[in-house]
Amino acid sequence: MKKKIAFITFLFVGCFPLFSFGQVSTYQATQRIKGKTFNFYPDSKAPSRLRNNHDARIVFSDRNSNKAFSTAYGQHPLGEYKVGEAFYVIGEKNGFYQLVKADPKLLGRPKGLFGWLYSPKNHFSDKAKVSYVGWMPKNNLLYYDHAYVSPTNNRAVRYSVGVNRIERLYNLRRYLNGDSLILFSDPFLKTPCPYKIHTGQSVYSYKRDDVHKTVLISDCPQLSTDSTHFMGWVSMDMITAVGQNEVYRIMPDAHHLACTSIIGNDTMSVHSADFQSRYLFDAGSLSLQSSSSRNVSFDSLHSVWLPVSVWDGKANKFINVKGGDTYVSDVQRMKNGQKQMNIHVFFFAQDKHEVGKLISALQNVALRMSPNRKYAFSATMISELGNQYLPLTDSLVQWLDFIQSPPHVTRNKDAGVKDAFRNLVLQTRNDCFEDNLLFLFGKSQDISIDSHLHQQLASRSFSMTFFQLSSDNGEASQDFLLTAKKPWIKYCGILTIHPELYS
């Protein structure tokens, strides 16, 4: 009877795992995959039932410097692991997984008297060769060896690198380096990786963080040491899901596309040259079947992602080798400003009759005006008793009348050349890129002004043309030319001097 009891006890104990001095027992089993076969796209409708998979379950480190601990309470670190390292799960407790390093060669029937009773799919053939890792938080692990897939065909969903939220455009410095997206080795985006990816590049998404702020991406849909070039974390608003191999092609003869805005019902026209490619991504659904590209019909409504380039006008400059770099944000104002030409005339009260005789020459200005530009005119009669002004007007007739028949000189506080130029500076702007052309008629008057006024006129894109109505060998007449020439060449881009044109 005692022998029977001893034999039964021996059988009973033999059917249970025999623990060695290490952390892995002879008959230690790994978790099985069961129904967790596919990494379905978040918020998609997954199949209600999947076939059980009895293979050993493998999980992966989802970050660099991923710590494993000796207990399931995060105590006593045992080591750190890189992103993508694979583990078998041999235990679960308190939100932690107990892990060993994954190696398919280690799986098999365990050695021992009762090894034939255990499955070779999720047991170790030799516990001595198993490398124990420790306990690691579940949230620090990637549960699948492949990227997000569509429940329709179980194929990976592609993403395109690009900002998908307008607010992100105002805070890109941390995430972009030129046209490259910076990858981080952790979901908190604290430690940058040594490699980058280009905007517009196709990538695959593997996992979101707990608060859905960041996402783990790679350039390959399957984890493989041979093919994976990079893996890292980025902000979720820096990538956009674009489906599976289905795109809309812009026809070669289509120069503009009319699109309905996402916000409101506004319609905008986009030039095809503004797109990064001639292919548009479908934004209507993510359960796209693989198919060849097709044309967009103009009589139907489609929801698409428009891959457009966005320039930061406040940070990008056009470099001017002569100085004064121009921001990209000023380009549109430059275009609008170039459509406006302001023509100004200065003459002295004592020369008004001689200037009036040149009215036919000034009338030729009207014949040379481009229909694609807008024009405004001003005139100033300079007198030491008081300057007379015609402010900027779009009336050519009013301008010519003022020059031909100027008003009588009346005393006012503005008098002389310097006040005339100060008034000209006040009625022109230096921030709208309008062209300004000044005709100054004189003989031997003193036309010297302060360098500050020279700079103010130069900043307003002034081109100066001086007409000397008469000249002689006298000192005053020569000084008129010298005064006109030296400072104006320094500050103004174009200077034309016409001595002795009129007698």
Of the residues 142, 176, 205, the one at which a domain ends: 142
Structural domain includes residue 362 = yes
Same domain for 363 and 480?
Answer: yes
Q: How confident is the model at residue 15 (pLDDT cuts 50, 70, 90)?
A: very low
H/E run at residue 133:
strand 132-137
In which residue are the tokens 């080795």 written? Answer: 185
With 0-12 / 13-18 / 19 or more C-beta atoms within 10 angstroms meaning exposed / middle / buried, residue 282 is middle
Burial class (CB in 10 A: 0-12, 13-18, 19+), 206: buried
Looking at per-residue pLDDT, the higher value among 44 and 62 belongs to: 62
Report which of residues 456 and 2 the model is more confident about: 456
The CATH number of whichever domain residue 491 belongs to comes to 3.40.50.410
The DSSP output letter for 330 is G
**Is-contact 388 381, C-beta < 8 A?**
yes
Q: For the chain, give the percent of residues with pLDDT over 90.
A: 19
Residues 397 and 273 in one domain: no
Average pLDDT, the chain: 77
Average pLDDT over residues 397-416: 83
**pLDDT at residue 502 is higher than 70:** no
SS3 state of residue 304: strand
458 and 369 belong to one structural domain: yes
What is the pLDDT averaged over residues 195-199? 84
Domain with 261 in it: 150-310
Give the DSSP letter of residue 151.
T
User: pLDDT class for 188, splitting at 50, 70, 90?
Assistant: very high
The residue that leads in pLDDT, 74 or 309, is 74
Structural domain ending residue among the three candidates 142, 158, 190: 142
pLDDT tens digits along 65-95: 999 999 999 889 999 999 989 999 999 999 9
Q: Report, in angstroms and rounded to the nearest whole number, the Rg of the chain calculated over CA atoms.
A: 40
Asked if 279 and 233 sit in the same domain, the reply is yes
Q: Does the pLDDT at position 384 exceed 90?
A: no
pLDDT in tens, 118-145: 777 778 878 888 899 999 999 999 999 9
Smallest CA-to-CA distance from 278 within 250, 298, 306 is with: 250
The number of distinct structural domains making up the chain is 3
The residue whose two tokens read 């490259």 is 180
Assigned token pair, 60: 């992966």
Residue 424 and residue 344 in contact, taking contact as beta carbons nearer than 8 Å = yes
Domain end (from 97, 117, 142)? 142
Position of tokens 């000192």? 475
Q: Give the 3-state secondary structure percentages of the chain, helix then strand then coil, rounded to 5.
A: 20, 30, 45
**Do residues 225 and 116 share a domain?**
no
Same domain, 281 and 340: no
How much is the pTM?
0.56
Per-residue confidence (pLDDT) for residue 22, from 0 to 100:
46
pLDDT at position 209 over 80? yes
Q: Are residues 32 and 88 in the same domain?
A: yes
pLDDT average, residue stretch 329-349: 78
Give which of 469, 473, 438, 434 is closest to 453, Cα–Cα. 438
Q: How many CA atoms lie within 13 A of 352 on its CB side?
A: 19
Q: CB-based contacts of 468: which residues, under 8 Å, 6+ apart?
A: 442, 443, 477, 480, 481, 497, 498, 499, 500, 501
In 3D, which of 183, 201, 235, 205 has the Cα closest to residue 42? 205
